[in-house]
Amino acid sequence: MVASPVWSVDPRTGQQREQVGTEATAADVDAAVRAAHAAREPLADRTVRAALLRAAAGRLDAASEEIISTADAETALGRPRLTGELARTQAQLRAFADEIEDGAYLGITINHTDKDATPPCPDLRRYKIPLGVVAVYAASNFPLAFSVPGGDTASALAAGCPVVVKAHPDHPATSALTGAVLRGAAAEVGLPADVVGVVHGFEAGVELVKHPMVAAAGFTGSVRGGRALFDAAAARPTPIPFHGELGSLNPVVVTPAAAQERAEEIGAGLAGSMTMGTGQFCTKPGFVLAPEGEAGDRLLAALRDALADAAQGPLLDGRMREAFLAGVAARTELDGVEAPVLAGAGDDDQTVSAGCLTVAASKLGQPQYELLLEECFGPVAVIARYQDEDEISSTLSRLPGNLTATVQLSGGEAAGDAGTGARMLATLTPLAGRVLVNGWPTGVAVAPAQHHGGPYPSTTSTSTSVGATAIERWLRPVAYQDASDALLPPELRDANPLGLPRRVDGRWEY
């Protein structure tokens, strides 16, 4: 059987650019996973892991021109956007290097023997160890920050887990290039290049999640694809953790006072956020609750004007474009749904135009309108007009889990007046992993306190894929009981030879 070729395609023209390689067979996947598994022991050294991540960041910087040019040619995301994404990717790698050296992520906890406790406590020492080989499924819309050199890979390597990445078919050349950069960084610091492997093809993705040496998986993509892999991970003879980011509507609530105070600002801000990257951000605000009345009309007018001026652009591939056009058409066919600016096909066969849909919030309790409460990937948002706060609560109660939820408040409400702001935050908190006040969700800061995840279907676990705690997905705790100091790993010995932060008998030591 001849392996299928892997082609890089220009989304601006739909034409093939170059053949990158061939789709991996089951034997190819097996070889990549086994090679990664064999690299676990060399990767165990925390100092070497930190050096690897910093070397990778440096090599990405050195190859930046080729990486950005290649990524732009096969994603059409634009050099400014990709330049920022590459800088973010480097920052993630360096942040996890710092996290390794700090050592707090190990969660070292020691309880000395206490015979007087109830019940008596033996000598217990707990920390976290790496799971093993991690399968990473690259995202379509972030060819760098959520793909081969992205946050899943960086956090897994930081944890001490080798990685095999299933490249996304929308940017195979970028994946091959950045994979070579990471493998070169490994060789630079004396590690086997196979601490990072890259495979291509749909079947490769299926084989990866089933491989007995794969210990965990990270995914960013569609609900359908992610759920299939999640189910496969759970159905294995030995199930594995599957940390999937699947889809998100990212609701926004605009209070009447906020609309009265700054309708035009909110309308323009919404347009900028929902069209960023041609609406292909996982945090795109796709559903907005805006008040009926004059202030809400002003907001909608500002949104309409901004969208009318928004540039057309290509989506990442033809399949996504077809799904977007079909999704918009299905929504506009619903009774009572209007399109102040109709999103749809652009001026050529590759582009799309941005738009918005409006509907009375009171209709959303009817089964035929459930489609409006689902993500439509691309530059479109649904604006539901509500009458009162009860209608806000009723509508939000029907939403699935989300990565983000945003409330736009007036100055007084943000300061705590009348309790409106506090009620809105309490209502939104169960819906999302990140709740914003007077901002826009597109753009996810790389910071220790960040959380990029949320209730299902936005993610399949309670973990984050961005920020320092993303490393926790690839670790498991182990406790040693009544082991002599000589038998313990250095991290748990009384003398603390590695100088790591730890909690001893209830007190933190640094």
Long-range CB contacts (< 8 A, 24+ apart) of 183-187? 184/59, 185/52, 185/55, 185/56, 185/58, 185/59, 186/52
Residue 412 burial (C-beta neighbours within 10 Å; 0-12, 13-18, 19+): middle
Residues annotated as part of the active site: 245, 282
Spatial distance between the Cα atoms of 11 and 9, rounded to a whole number of angstroms: 6
**Both tokens assigned to 359:** 């509907």
Q: Are 431 and 405 in contact (CB under 8 A)?
A: yes
CA distances from 377 to 79, 142, 203, 227 (A): 22, 14, 24, 17
**Both tokens assigned to 156:** 């897994």
**Considering only CA atoms, which of 197, 194, 130 is closest in space to residue 161?**
130
Spatial distance between the Cα atoms of 215 and 209, rounded to a whole number of angstroms: 9
Residue 85 burial (C-beta neighbours within 10 Å; 0-12, 13-18, 19+): buried
3-class secondary-structure state, position 174: helix
From the CB of residue 411, how many other CB atoms can be counted at a distance below 10 Å?
12
Alpha helices, DSSP H only, in 16-140? 26-38, 40-43, 46-62, 64-75, 79-102
